[in-house]
Chains A and B, each alone.
Chain A
Amino acid sequence: MSAALLLAIGGLTSAGIYLITARSLSRIILGFSLLGHAAVLALMASGGPAGEAPIAPTDGIANPLPQALSLTAIVISFGLTLFLLALAARQRTLTGDDLVEDDIEDRRVAAAGDDA
């Protein structure tokens, strides 16, 4: 595995994790896009070094199986990004922002603690 690929996977993962810890859903969506790219890159890298296009049977072709897996994963993460965007838009129409809220019951328990 090349150092550049390794650095790319590491960089994308750290940036993705950082964004996911945010409270606003639009940042979380960006984080998931980056994290998804990192996972797909890792999946590609797991197939070994790059080679010729696997369609023509020559020597030294690239391993096609991880590529097929990656394609499936990309399609799934694309669909989920769209769903999350729709969810963020819905949250915005309902509350005026797209922040992930505390659970109602959690807030009730926390308030009970403040009173005591």
Chain B
Amino acid sequence: MNALVAIIIVGPIIGATLGLMARDFPRRRDAITLLGLGAASAAAFAMLVDVAANGTSVVRVGGWGPELGIVLVADLFAALVLPVALTIIFVVELFAIGQRRTAWGANPELAGPLLGVLTSGVGLAMLTGDLFTLFVAFELILVSSYVLLTHQGQKAQVGSGMTYVVMNLFSSTLFLFGLAFVYAATGTVNMALLAERIPELSDGVRLGIGAWFFVVFGTKAAVFPLFSWLPDSYPTAPTTITAVFAGLLTKIGIYAMIRFHTLMGMDELGSIMLILAGVTMIVGALGALAQSDVKRILSFHIISQIGYMLMGLGLFSVAGTTGAILFLVHHMPVKTVLFLVGGLIENDRGTSRLEKTGGLASRRPLIAALFAVPALSLAGLPPFSGFVAKFAVVSAGIEAANTPIVIAALVGGVLTLLSMTKIWLGVFWGESDDDLANEAPGNRPLMLGATALAVAGTITISMLAGTLFDLSERAAIDLRSDTAYIEEVTS
């Protein structure tokens, strides 16, 4: 198990370093980067098999105990989300290699290695057992994302990058303040020890800490009303970078929230979370309807979908947490694929604005098919993965007899379907404007192949829905009854 953890966290960063050294040799550089990312995803799958069979395992870095040292905890929740997250990055890098061979390929030396650093951060954020290492992992992810977003140095990217950096830096500072509060109140930053000590605090201090971290993670996750930075900054970056951001970054915030708030037993915050979840779903979906650019529509949908995961968490029941975990696993690949298809459209037509594109359904039926599957899945139609995930969340809401949130979830689903129809009408039907398309670089087979691979991945998720539901439920039970987690870490 130690080896697997090491490969997941250190593998991609070694690949990134070697890739930077070989940056003048594109083929070698890409091969090394891919190898690092591939090794990490393979190790994550091996970890899932191992954890599902043998239960949680704990790695004490340097042999130090949880009081002083860093512990890495591979529980079922982490092991379930990690393989999906790392495979996404691998597929996007494949797509990116294809895109770099086109005329629009941008600054290719840096993007691959930076993605490697980001992958290490993702692995560390999911496996870490203490809050401070979580902070460091967030910084690792964010620093590489800042550079990925702005390294081309174009006007639009620097402009919107500033909003993104300032917003995230502010929430990181709040995180640091939160760490100080937690340490002052409990004398530890280890999550297992915190799970024992936080419930003993007075209600005011306990809920204050919970609300503070809700704001910190909520900013990263783009929960209403902290979402305005997201649709401004995501669409300006190159497709491959936006695809990774869309699939992963906000989801890391939700992941941290699920882990922290269920482990610390912040059930009293449930009602406020549910209200914000409902508003997030509706506002995100309405915002998407008002847009007229494929990437911007998809950016607003990230916000809307975050609402569903927050709803699952806010119910604070095993069924709700199961739904949130399942939604997380389904949403990451689907969102990434949609952005990759957005990139395919842009590369084919020269723009992703709805009024300038059209007629792709007859001219590029493959792109249309690659869009249709994840789009229907995002809207939550059977038999795709979105249906299973949305069903799990909504039925948990019905079980908790919380009518308003269930209605909000269903309305959000209809609105999502509406704006997916809007993309379909604008891009795939109707007449096209060929002026821009003549200058567009077109798509390489590798780009189409990578997207098709990712679509196949989302279909696999819907076929394995039963197994995934069982695993999510086991993970949720582990998270809700934190005794197992505490025993594993402290023993």
Contact = CB atoms under 8 A, between A and B. Distances in A.
A47 B183 CA distance: 7
Given A84-B165, A90-B153, A104-B156, A69 B173 contact: no
Interface of B: 68, 132, 135-136, 139, 143, 146-147, 150, 153, 155-156, 158-163, 165-166, 169-170, 173, 176-177, 179-181, 183-184, 189, 231-232, 290-291, 293, 296
B416 to A, nearest CB: 20
A39 B158 contact: no
Given A36-B173, A104-B156, A72 B183 contact: no
B184 A46 contact: yes
Contact of A91 (B159, B184, B232): B159
Interface string A18-40: 00100001001000100110111
B156 A46 contact: no
Nearest to A32: B169
A69 B158 contact: no
A45 B180 contact: yes
A87 B143 contact: no
Interface string A74-98: 0010011001100100110011000
A17 to B, nearest CB: 9
B155 A95 contact: yes
Contacts of B166: 20, 28, 100
Contact of B143 (A25, A80, A100, A109): A80
Nearest to B163: A100
A6 B486 CA distance: 34
Interface in A36-61: 36, 38-40, 42-43, 45-47
A83 B143 contact: yes
Given A46-B180, A79-B143, A100 B136 contact: no
A116 interface: no
Contacts of A28: 166
B205 to A, nearest CB: 13
A106 interface: yes
B165 A39 contact: no
A77 B161 CA distance: 18
Given A39-B180, A40-B176, A76-B136, 17 more contacts: A20-B170, A32-B173, A35-B173, A42-B177, A42-B180, A42-B181, A46-B181, A47-B183, A83-B143, A84-B165, A87-B150, A87-B161, A87-B162, A90-B150, A90-B158, A94-B153, A106-B232
Contact of A39 (B161, B177, B293): B177
A36 B180 CA distance: 12
Contacts of B189: 69
Interface of A: 20, 25, 28, 32, 35-36, 38-40, 42-43, 45-47, 65-66, 69, 72-73, 76, 79-80, 83-84, 87, 90-91, 94-95, 100-101, 103-106, 109
A69 B132 contact: yes
A91 B179 contact: no
Contacts of A76: 136, 139
Contacts of A101: 159, 162
Contacts of A79: 143
A106 B176 CA distance: 32
Contacts of B160: 103
21 contacts: A32-B170, A36-B173, A38-B177, A45-B180, A46-B179, A46-B181, A47-B183, A65-B68, A65-B183, A66-B180, A66-B183, A72-B132, A72-B136, A83-B143, A83-B147, A87-B150, A87-B158, A90-B150, A94-B155, A95-B155, A109-B290
A80 B173 CA distance: 12
| B interface, over-half SS | helix
A105 B160 CA distance: 11
Contacts of B232: 103, 105-106
A81 B75 CA distance: 36
Contact of A80 (B132, B169, B177, B291): B169
Given A45-B184, A87-B165, A105 B159 contact: no
Contacts of A94: 153, 155, 158
A105 B183 contact: no
Nearest to B184: A46
Contacts of A84: 165, 169
Contact of B176 (A25, A73, A100): A73
A80 B145 CA distance: 12
Nearest to B290: A109
Given A65-B68, A90-B158, A39 B132 contact: no
A86 B147 CA distance: 11
Nearest to A94: B155
Contacts of B139: 76, 80
A32 B174 CA distance: 11
Nearest to B162: A100
A68 to B, nearest CB: 9
Ordered nearest first, which 8 A-B pairs have the shortest CB separation? Answer: A46-B184, A42-B180, A39-B176, A46-B183, A103-B232, A43-B180, A46-B180, A101-B159
Contacts of B155: 94-95
Nearest to A73: B176
A84 B165 CA distance: 8
